Structure 1
Amino acid sequence: MATIKDLAKLSKVSAATVSRVLNGDETITVQDQTRQRIYQAAKELGYKTIHERRNQQQTSKSKKNPAIGVVLFLSNEEELSDPYFLAIRQGIEEELIKQGISTTTMIRLYDKVDHQKVQELDGMIIVGRINGEALKKISGHIKNIVYINHSPDEDIYDSVVVDFQKATEKALQHMLKAGYKRIGYIGGVEREHLKERTIIGEDQRITTYEKVMKSEGLYEPSYVFIGEYTMMQGYELMKKALKQNDVPEAFFIASDPMAIGALRALQEFGISVPSDLAIVSFDDIEMAEFCSTPLTSVKVHTKEMGQTGVKLLLDRINGRELPLKVTVPTELVIRQSCGTNQ
């Protein structure tokens, strides 16, 4: 390995001059010709300064095992009752393990944030709708950020999303093709999470439902029931619907947990699915296949969303600057609850 003395001999200056030039000492005065001769000698002998060697080691370490933070807006208890977001996190963790990355920090929005750990992160994966204000308080200097299930600014951030509009249209067209006209809607609200509060965001499932049904001349406001995305709310909202004089002949339900709750309400009222009332839901979680009446549901590839988010983040850490938005396709899985095999 070349030394400062070797460089001094080749460039015909003192070792002190070589050291000061290569380490960027701005107080030293040397001719440009001499400075270039020192740089050329360093290049020929393959010499690297301590600063260059340290940067090289840090870059190598970063590429092999970067420190990743995963920001979640749900608490542990909330996540356990929400299979959709739980599956996304599991996909993230599986891909991190596959990539050999062990330095991962889980950050839950409403927990106390360890800012020292955050400062050491190379990148972040944000799961769900988290407001930029809240993100800034958490992330600080971090530039490598990937959103999953939300795309707040595709000109800045990478994101992995689902086309909720297209998926909802697919479900509704299936129901319309089957001959259903009085189609109701049961769903929750999309919330954008800040540090101290939440605000209501657009949910493309309800806006698409309204658009499609109005275009068919079939929209009826009294058929729409909105609560929270929980199993209990699906149960309560279906009971509310069944107490009306005019009950829809079919429902599009915006999540499988809500649909499972709705099935319980229908059972209590003695209403058979699909002969008395048909259901198409959303997510296709594992439980959907094993309900008392297996659910026809829009399948969202949640684990693949998590895995894709990790790959995008690693690509960004390794130098890509162009932000990418990946839309993961969905598919309608036909089972008994919709009353048709096609």
Structure 2
Amino acid sequence: MATLKEISERAGVSISTVSRVLNNDETLLVLDETKMKIFEAAEDLEYKTITQRKNKTKKNNNYKIGLVEMYDVSKQLEDPYYLLLKNTVEKECFNNNIKLVKLYNNGMKYESLEEKNLDGIIAIGKFSDKEINLMNEYSSNIVFLDSSPDDEKYDSVKINFKMGVFAALDHLYDLGHTKIGYIGDGNTLGDNKLRERDVRLKYYNEYMKEKNILNEEYIINCDMTASAGYTAMTEFIKRETLPTAFFVATDTIATGVLKALYENKISVPNDISLIGFNDIFVSRYTLPALSTVRVHIENMANACVGLMIERLNNRTYTKKVIIPSQLIIRESTSNISNEN
């Protein structure tokens, strides 16, 4: 049986860090890339935690589940949200003694380098009808994480975007902001991988119209990357008037926006308040620390794997789980009365 020492040597971290990660210590601050190395090492070495060994008789289902991802690694590094989803799904499968098998799309079909006979598929992201049909060649037991292409056929887990967007805008409005801009891609991939209005922009418009404070000149359209956020904000700053606050579609974009504001000597939050979405790890360490809407990725992964286990245990009807989001207040937002 593998030991913590063997895992620590393979992952290049301390034994205590390995132990805390494998036992889901939420107080531990460690990079998501480090967690991924630990889980991969533990899986390769077939390590089992004490809890897993105690529950072996209850959880030893010997399921083999395919993993399909919308983005490749290079795209995930531009915006780590989907990378974090994948990591947490891997951890949940590991904790439930489920073997996870990576599936690759070669354009004609999905292929696996390992198992051919799968009990189900977890699909992370958005997928076209063609891609979904290709998945069905492996298994019709598909759980979609972060999309819901067909509620009548497939289980799915999604975020409550409206709750998060409204909470962020309520916070800014309560601080006295009425000139609130939006930064993000106005049209992104929908549940069936077709370009459509991004739901965050949709709910932003809905909220601002309800308050009668919508100014479309304050909407900045850019790709969902830090570099795009930097470029878009740098160009927008050249305008004569700026809003007093921005809601940003992702924390990744917000990091680029923060850099552009800093280089142009615009203080956050004294001149402009900023609030993001996702609460990725780096958001706690930006200058200033980013206020944001937390997406509970651990809960999403737990629900996703739970739905798969239920389905494989003969549940015959579909389920759609909506995970609440949570406003996290840090240092990038302030009352408008404190601004210059």
Which interval holds the TM-score relative to the shorter structure? 0.7 to 0.9
* Equivalence for 2:101: 105
- Matching residue of 2:147: 150
- TM-score, structure 2 normalization: 0.76
Give the gaps of 5 or more residues in structure 1: 1-59
User: C-alpha displacement at 1:283, in angstroms?
Assistant: 0.5
Q: How far apart, CA to CA, are the structure 1 residues paired with 2:208 and 2:242?
A: 16
Partner secondary structure for residue 326 of structure 2:
strand
RMSD: 2.3
For 1:213, the aligned partner's letter is: M
SS at match of 1:190: strand
Q: Deviations over 1:78-116 (max 9, x none)?
A: 1133221111111110011111122x2223446773279
Q: Deviations over 1:201-252 (max 9, x none)?
A: 3321001111111121111111111121111111111112211122111000
Match of 1:138 in 2: 135
Aligned to 1:165: 162
Post-superposition CA distance 1:17-58 (Å, at most 9, x none): xxxxxxxxxxxxxxxxxxxxxxxxxxxxxxxxxxxxxxxxxx
Alignment match, 1:281:
276
Matched, 1:260 2:255: yes
Residue 284 (structure 1) shift: 0.7
Q: Does structure 2 retain, via aligned residues, the 8 Å contact 1:185–1:251?
A: yes
User: Take 2:67 and 2:98, find their aligned partners in 1: how far apart are those partners?
Assistant: 13
Residues 127-150 of structure 1 show CA distances to partners (whole Å, capped at 9, x for unaligned) of 111122221123325221111111
Check conservation: 2:184, 2:223, Cα contact below 8 A: yes
How far does the alpha carbon of each residue in 1:227-286 deviate from its partner, in whole angstroms, 9 at most, with x for none? 211111111111122111221110000100100100000011000000000001101111
Pairing 1:325–2:323 present: no
- Structure 2: which 5+ residue stretches go unaligned? 1-56, 336-340
| 1:68 maps to 2:46 | no
Give the aligned partner of residue 35 of structure 1.
Answer: none
Letter in 2 for 1:191: L
State the TM-score, normalized to the length of structure 1: 0.76
Identity of aligned residues (%): 31
Residues 1:76 and 1:141: Cα distance change in structure 2 (over 3 Å) = closer
CA separation in 2, counterparts of 1:201 and 1:109? 24
The partner residue of 2:205 within 197, 201, 210 is 210
Alpha-carbon distance, 1:75 to partner: 0.7
The answer to whether structure 1 residue 271 and structure 2 residue 266 are counterparts is: yes
CA contact (8 A) 1:90 1:303 kept: no
Q: For 2:230, which of 225, 235, 244 is the aligned residue?
A: 235
Instruction: Write the letter of the residue equivalent to 1:339.
Output: S
Amino acid at match of 1:224: I
Question: Alignment partner for residue 294 of structure 2, among 275, 299, 304?
Answer: 299
Is the Cα–Cα contact under 8 Å of residues 117 and 138 in structure 2 kept in the other structure? Answer: no
Q: Which residue identity lines up with residue 128 of structure 1 in the other structure?
A: G
SS at structure 1 position matched to 2:289 = coil
State yes or no: 1:121 paired with 2:118.
yes
Residue 161 (structure 1) shift = 0.8
Q: Deviations over 1:274-326 (max 9, x none)?
A: 00000011011111110010010000011321222111111101100111111
CA deviation after TM superposition for structure 1 residue 192, in Å: 4.6
Q: Which consecutive segments of 4 or more residues in structure 1 shift more than 4 A?
A: 108-112, 115-119
